[in-house]
Amino acid sequence: MAFDAQAKRNFKVVGTRVTRPDGIDKVTGKAAYGADIAAPGMLYGRILRSPHAHARIVSIDTSAAEALAGVKAVVTGADLAQPDDEDFADVAINCLARDKVLYDGHAVAAVAAKSKSIAKQAIRLIKVDYEILPHVTDVDAAMQPDAPVVQEGRALETVPAGMSQNVTTHCQFGHGDLDAGFAKADKIIERSFKTAATHQGYIEPQACMASLGSDGRGEVWCCTQGQYMVRANCAAVLGVEESQLRITSSEIGGGFGGKTSTFIEPVALALSRKSGKPVKIVMTRDEVLKATGPTISSSMDIKIGMTKDGRITAARGELRYSGGAYPNGTVNMGAQAAFAAYDLEAVETVGWNAMTNRPKEIPYRAPGAPTAIYAVESVVDELCQELGLDPLDVRLMNAARKGTVSSYGPTFNDIGLVATLEAAKAHPHYTAPLGENQGRGLSCGFWFNFGGNTCVSLNINDDGTVGVVEGNPDIGGSRASISMMAAEELGVPYDKVRTVIADTSSLGFNDITDGSRVTFAVGLATIEAARAAIKEMCSRVAKIWDIDEDAVIWEDGCAKPAGPNAGTHPPMTLAEIAAIAGKTGGPIAGHHEVNADGAGVSFGVHLCDTEVDPETGATKILRYTVFQDAGKAVHPDYVEGQMQGGAVQGIGWALNEEYIYGEDGRLQNAGFLDYRVPVASDLPDIETVILEIPNPGHPYGVRGVGETPIVPPLAAISNAVSRAAGGRMTELPMSPPRLLKAMTG
């Protein structure tokens, strides 16, 4: 669906800062989250988890737990189906292990009991006999030929023979003659980097309530980024048909990609099937950190050549990612994104994924891109330092633009990178003075964005209001944005439109809320659904006026005669048409189903000032500005919120957040005390500058904005810290002990 032909549309609703529809419920505590759902006769589920990083399950004895009064069901991996599809099979053994436990916290068995305290006692009565196996948690160690093998026989055909069986993915992207390119360089820098796995850190732990009756019909209420994904996973893992499961998504207390998989819903359904009662499972924070998905950990080598005036002549990156104990393709996205901001003659990226005894990676905002771009942007910054060049000028000189053949293949259409860099250069932040022990860093960021499968129904109510039904949980203000686009298109006030999120039985299939796709794709489908409803309304009015359909146009929320030849009928408002719909052919609705293409890539530039304490290694973020191309900012508050939120999560990733494993392979910091997300007092006000370079693939020019903002912070902060500390930092997080050691030797 192309950008609307009218060059300068005069938006009335889109671009304003209207009140969010879910605001009052959320501030008054009325909003129902995953753990707020209850049913009569409901049981409490609880999961037994592995204390070992890697072990064979010799036997599980559940008899004592089953015998405990108040226990209504106990399930193990044997109670779940074994899907043929590898992805579903991985979901199944991740929900409940079968032959082996693959990481500390891997689910082994579950109970449903009449109370939480009985469930707790029952869990302790389950006897699991483990044969402990050697483990590996570091990606480089896992790639060694003699490393303990996490799973056998999982490598894709693209992986060369003779490597560790942990290596499951190999990919390669690029173009041009690298040797010739490096030969033209005046300066070549080659560096290696490591980054720790980080968690999405959503405040609401996963929670669900599930019921599966003897008639084979099931219901699940859960906190998720995709009810249709939950349905598909549960159907495959339980061995039931999708039509028999109805999944309703609750309000969501943060997702950031982390709620795009299932951990507890199939287990609750299995317990319900066995007990005949609804079963509720609510994860603890400890379980969330141990057993839901963090992002990848990485080890990377980057080599870039540059002429003395700043032109990049060649670039190569080798990325080694670990997505935990299962095969994982995130490195593909990292390898494609690494050099996307640059127009390069010679570029190559090579990616590897290696399995480790860590929880299964689940997407985290722009999965794969932040780490790769951190490494690339660090080397570009160091080249600028070494050659005495302005880092913004160098990026402008080498920036990808319309017509650039990207480092991963496609040729870019209209993109906003140059405009974003120019905005950063013109901003007072870039030239503000710095004091002692302070440094300024910058980084570009990139994300592909996604469209995907989308259904929307739009109903014209008989009182002249409008209901929009969509199928993607609202993780970032999408109900407001969708209502705004419907109001814009129909020409009615925003408060006449209410958008609700359908359960899986009430609307056709929708892809999960991922890839920054909802404002783009659901917005696009909403506009089309509104246009369908408008067409129908014009048709009804044409009948009333007894003129051709083509002679009726829609303007400012009214049907009007199209020119003098159509007669002099007074305009009919949407409300007037709706009120008599029963007499003109019945209810009026519009709908649209699409696999949306043309999401339009998004670029951002972040500027960051830091001060380091040379005596303690502490880093303070002094000033932070985000510049990003939003295509068209539908609700600027939400766009700014995404930009600020991404920056803040990136600050945590850069400075303190990390999965810390002991020698025993167990996670040492499964709680928010020692898994340190930033607190409010750690942060300056994050300034934002929205640029609007319309996306040719959307009628209003919208681009997804949710993921790009987490891409630049890692390098922006590392570059600022490296300049402040007087030495290049190459490992994340830059925790105070690590930074102090780097500064003092």
Q: How far apart are CA 206 and CA 209, in angstroms?
A: 11
Pick the piece of the chain touching other proteins (CB under 8 A) from 374-382, 456-464, 508-516, 674-682.
674-682
Q: Decide if residue 682 touches other proteins (CB under 8 A).
A: yes
Backbone phi, psi, residue 486, to 5°: -65, -45
Q: How far apart are CA 236 and CA 91, in angstroms?
A: 9
Q: Residue from 674, 696, 726, 727 that binds other proteins (CB under 8 A)?
A: 674
Give least dist CB 286 to other proteins, A: 8
Pick the piece of the chain touching other proteins (CB under 8 A) from 337-345, 512-520, 559-567, 676-684.
676-684
Which of 131, 674 has the CB closer to other proteins?
674
**Quick check: 243 and 302 in contact, CB under 8 A?**
no
Give least dist CB 662 to other proteins, A: 8
Which of 151, 669 has the CB closer to other proteins?
669
Q: Decide if residue 656 touches other proteins (CB under 8 A).
A: yes
Q: Decide if residue 699 touches other proteins (CB under 8 A).
A: no
Give least dist CB 740 to other proteins, A: 6
- Per-position DSSP letters for 49-88, written without gaps between them: E-SSSSEEEEEEE-HHHHHSTTEEEEEEGGGS---SSHHH
Which H or E run contains 380? helix 369-387
Give the footprint of other proteins on residues 462-481 (CB under 8 A): none
Q: Decide if residue 68 touches other proteins (CB under 8 A).
A: no
Which of 70, 491 has the CB closer to other proteins?
70
Q: Decide if residue 146 touches other proteins (CB under 8 A).
A: no
Give least dist CB 643 to other proteins, A: 22
Which of 270, 743 has the CB closer to other proteins?
743
What 8-state DSSP symbol labels residue 411?
A: B
Backbone phi, psi, residue 56, to 5°: -85, 135
Give least dist CB 443 to other proteins, A: 22
Give the footprint of other proteins on residues 280-309 (CB under 8 A): 286
Which of 119, 366 has the CB closer to other proteins?
119
Q: Residue from 278, 678, 701, 706 that binds other proteins (CB under 8 A)?
A: 678
Kindly provide the b/e burial profile for residues 565-575, where b requires at least 16 CB atoms within 10 angstroms of the residue's own CB: ebeebeebbbb
Give least dist CB 129 to other proteins, A: 23
Which residue in 167, 228, 294, 543 sits closest to 552, CA to CA?
A: 543
Q: Decide if residue 616 touches other proteins (CB under 8 A).
A: yes
Which residue in 378, 356, 377 sits closest to 294, CA to CA?
A: 356
Give least dist CB 737 to other proteins, A: 4
Q: How far apart are CA 41 and CA 33, in angstroms?
A: 20
Which residue in 284, 283, 275, 246 sits closest to 43, CA to CA?
A: 275
Backbone phi, psi, residue 266, to 5°: -65, -35
Contact track, other proteins, 720-739, x by CB under 8 A: ---------------xxx--
Give least dist CB 130 to other proteins, A: 21
Which of 59, 681 has the CB closer to other proteins?
681
Instruction: Mention every residue, 6+ apart, whose C-beta is less than 8 A from residue 609.
Output: 429, 432, 434, 438, 439, 440, 441, 621, 622, 623, 624, 720
Pick the piece of the chain touching other proteins (CB under 8 A) from 390-398, 423-431, 475-483, 667-675.
667-675
Q: Decide if residue 115 touches other proteins (CB under 8 A).
A: no
Question: Residues touching other proteins: how many (CB under 8 A)?
Answer: 24
Give least dist CB 619 to other proteins, A: 9
Give least dist CB 628 to other proteins, A: 27
Pick the piece of the chain touching other proteins (CB under 8 A) from 88-96, 258-266, 311-319, 665-673.
665-673
Pick the piece of the chain touching other proteins (CB under 8 A) from 138-146, 440-448, 506-514, 613-621.
613-621
Which of 154, 290 has the CB closer to other proteins?
290
Instruction: Mention every residue, 6+ apart, whose C-beta is less than 8 A from residue 210.
Output: 218, 219, 220, 221, 222, 265, 268, 269, 271, 272, 278, 279, 280, 281
Which of 439, 678 has the CB closer to other proteins?
678
Q: Decide if residue 47 touches other proteins (CB under 8 A).
A: no
Q: Residue from 163, 434, 669, 731 that binds other proteins (CB under 8 A)?
A: 669
Residues in the chain: 745
Q: Residue from 213, 618, 636, 731 that binds other proteins (CB under 8 A)?
A: 618
Q: How far apart are CA 75 and CA 291, in angstroms?
A: 18
**Residue 621 pairs with which residues in a beta bridge?**
610
Place of tokens 């896992």: 142
Helical H runs in 143-210? 178-183
Which of 566, 618 has the CB closer to other proteins?
618
Instruction: Mention every residue, 6+ apart, whose C-beta is less than 8 A from residue 574.
Output: 460, 464, 466, 490, 491, 492, 537, 557, 558
Q: Residue from 615, 663, 685, 745 that binds other proteins (CB under 8 A)?
A: 615
| CA distances for 407 relative to 109, 354, 458, 553, angstroms | 46, 24, 41, 46
Give least dist CB 365 to other proteins, A: 21
Pick the piece of the chain touching other proteins (CB under 8 A) from 128-136, 396-404, 611-619, 693-701.
611-619
Q: Residue from 655, 705, 717, 742 that binds other proteins (CB under 8 A)?
A: 655
CA–chain centroid gap for 426, Å, is 31
Contact track, other proteins, 372-391, x by CB under 8 A: --------------------
- For helices 713-725 and 369-387, the axis angle rounded to 10 degrees is 40
Strand 497-501 relative to strand 552-555: parallel, antiparallel, unpaired? Answer: unpaired
Q: Decide if residue 138 touches other proteins (CB under 8 A).
A: no
Q: Which amino acid is at 474?
A: D
Give least dist CB 670 to other proteins, A: 10
**Quick check: 484 and 595 in contact, CB under 8 A?**
no
Q: Decide if residue 660 touches other proteins (CB under 8 A).
A: yes
Q: Which amino acid is at 742?
A: A
Instruction: Mention every residue, 6+ apart, whose C-beta is less than 8 A from residue 487.
Output: 13, 466, 493, 494, 496, 497
Give least dist CB 356 to other proteins, A: 19
Q: Decide if residue 744 touches other proteins (CB under 8 A).
A: yes
- For helices 713-725 and 636-655, the axis angle rounded to 10 degrees is 50
Give least dist CB 682 to other proteins, A: 5
Q: Decide if residue 31 touches other proteins (CB under 8 A).
A: no
Return residues touching other proteins (CB under 8 A): 120, 286, 615-618, 655-656, 660, 668-669, 673-674, 676, 678-679, 681-682, 735-737, 740-741, 744
